[in-house]
């Protein structure tokens, strides 16, 4: 990002796990960051996490993504926008569907409307693997968000700014499986799994942040970038975790939660004809067939799964941080 000169970035959801990593990285490179979120305690934590001699580069803006007027003010003079704000806890989204729509759909349209009347050069939407072959309400709202976002380029044909990425759960982020296992081991003395057969994509927050920033400046407007990731099987991860931390009780299997998938999907069978393999990533072009399309891409594919040895090294690395 340093080749762009010093820029100003607005990050919606700027106090979340991804938003915080993005803010720290951009500020460390000398860019200005406007973190936009409603969470006042999150703003306080973010501000304290920035070195004192760099805090002048951070602006903490309290606001809702449903408030278009506030967004327009926040975007004045900004060069780039990263839209990472979302209600994303699957169970809460299932039982609060209206609120999820307000933030993830209405809020995304509000961000689009604000961008269209701004001087922003590029804007990236952080979508989710849940948007592909969605079976839960959160996934439905992210799928709608993708469509709103990429097709908004039609309203600014001379300089279309909108690109997107699909994002998976990040290792050791807030609410991630590693953190959940740590809490379960300390409180109950055993691990609780929804299903041992579950598989999940593995992605580190720092790598996810780099992918988002790369797509922001290099993706063709209308493209959705999809990372190439390794995966793990939940029971394999649990057994390796138990061995590392001395958890002796067998893990408990409680069944899939409402809206939870057995395997996560980045590219569904029905989307494959619209996607291509660019070597470092997959690129999805909604509505546009590819001459050399990729195949479906999901976490249950055996060739993607990490071995126990790899999982052990990952857990050890995380435990030492």
The CA–CA distances, whole Å, from 1 to 282, 300, 306 equal: 21, 34, 31
Angle (nearest 5°) at CA 291 between 289 and 292: 110
Reference 309, options 214, 232, 252; nearest CA is: 232
Reference 245, options 205, 191, 171; nearest CA is: 191
Rounded average pLDDT over 177-201: 93
Residues noted as catalytic: 130
pLDDT of residue 4: 53
Read off the pLDDT band of 148 (50, 70, 90).
very high
Burial of 55 (0-12, 13-18, 19+ CB in 10 A): middle
**What's the chain's average pLDDT?**
94
Please determine, for residue 249, whether its predicted confidence score (pLDDT) is greater than 80.
yes
Contact 178, 144 (CB under 8 A): no
Model confidence pLDDT, tens digit, residues 252-282: 999 998 889 999 999 999 999 999 999 999 9
CA dist., res. 25 & res. 3, Å (int)? 14
pLDDT of residue 293: 79
CATH class of 2-168+205-227: alpha beta
Contact 237, 311 (CB under 8 A): yes
Please determine, for residue 3, whether its predicted confidence score (pLDDT) is greater than 50.
no
Please determine, for residue 144, whether its predicted confidence score (pLDDT) is greater than 70.
yes
Rounded average pLDDT over 42-64: 97
Contact 244, 319 (CB under 8 A): yes
Domain ranges in the chain? 2-168+205-227
CA dist., res. 36 & res. 19, Å (int)? 9
CA dist., res. 78 & res. 10, Å (int)? 7
> Token pair of 142, please?
């992210």
Farthest-apart Cα atoms in the chain, separation: 62
**Which stretch of 66-70, 102-106, 133-137 has the lowest confidence by average pLDDT?**
133-137
pLDDT greater at residue 108 or residue 5: 108
Contact 35, 106 (CB under 8 A): no
Please determine, for residue 320, whether its predicted confidence score (pLDDT) is greater than 90.
no
- Strand pairing of 265-267 and 192-193? unpaired
Please determine, for residue 1, whether its predicted confidence score (pLDDT) is greater than 80.
no
DSSP-H helix ranges across the chain: 17-28, 40-49, 68-74, 90-95, 97-101, 107-116, 137-151, 177-187, 205-218, 234-245, 308-319
Reference 167, options 137, 211, 136; nearest CA is: 211
CA dist., res. 254 & res. 205, Å (int)? 28
CA dist., res. 89 & res. 290, Å (int)? 33
pLDDT of residue 258: 87
């Amino acid at each position: 990002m340093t080749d762009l000169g010093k820029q100003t970035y607005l990050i919606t959801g700027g106090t979340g796990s991804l938003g915080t990593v993005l803010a720290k990285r951009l500020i460390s490179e000398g860019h200005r960051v406007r973190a936009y979120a409603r969470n006042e305690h999150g703003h306080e934590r973010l501000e304290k996490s920035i070195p004192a001699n760099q805090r002048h580069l951070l602006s903490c803006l309290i606001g809702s993504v449903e408030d278009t007027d506030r967004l327009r003010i926040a975007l004045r003079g900004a060069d780039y926008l990263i839209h990472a704000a979302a209600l994303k806890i699957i169970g809460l989204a299932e039982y609060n569907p209206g609120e999820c729509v307000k933030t993830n759909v209405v809020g995304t349209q509000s961000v689009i409307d604000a961008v269209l009347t701004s001087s922003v050069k590029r804007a990236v939407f952080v979508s989710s693997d849940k948007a592909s072959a969605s079976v839960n309400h959160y996934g439905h709202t992210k799928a709608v968000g993708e469509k709103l976002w990429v097709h908004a380029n039609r309203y600014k044909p001379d300089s279309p700014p909108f690109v997107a990425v699909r994002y998976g759960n990040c290792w050791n982020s807030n609410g991630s499986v590693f953190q959940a296992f740590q809490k379960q081991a300390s409180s109950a003395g055993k691990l609780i799994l929804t299903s041992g057969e579950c598989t999940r994509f593995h992605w580190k927050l720092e790598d996810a942040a780099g992918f988002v920033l790369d797509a922001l400046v290099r993706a063709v407007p209308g493209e959705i970038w999809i990372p190439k990731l390794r995966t793990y099987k939940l029971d394999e991860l649990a057994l390796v975790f138990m061995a590392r931390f001395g958890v002796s009780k067998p893990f408990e299997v409680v069944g899939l939660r409402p809206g939870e998938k057995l395997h996560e999907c980045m590219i569904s069978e029905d989307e494959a004809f619209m996607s291509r393999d660019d070597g470092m990533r997959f690129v999805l072009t909604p509505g546009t067939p590819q001459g050399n399309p990729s195949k479906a891409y999901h976490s249950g594919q055996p060739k993607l799964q990490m071995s126990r040895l790899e999982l052990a090294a990952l857990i050890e690395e995380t435990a030492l941080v």
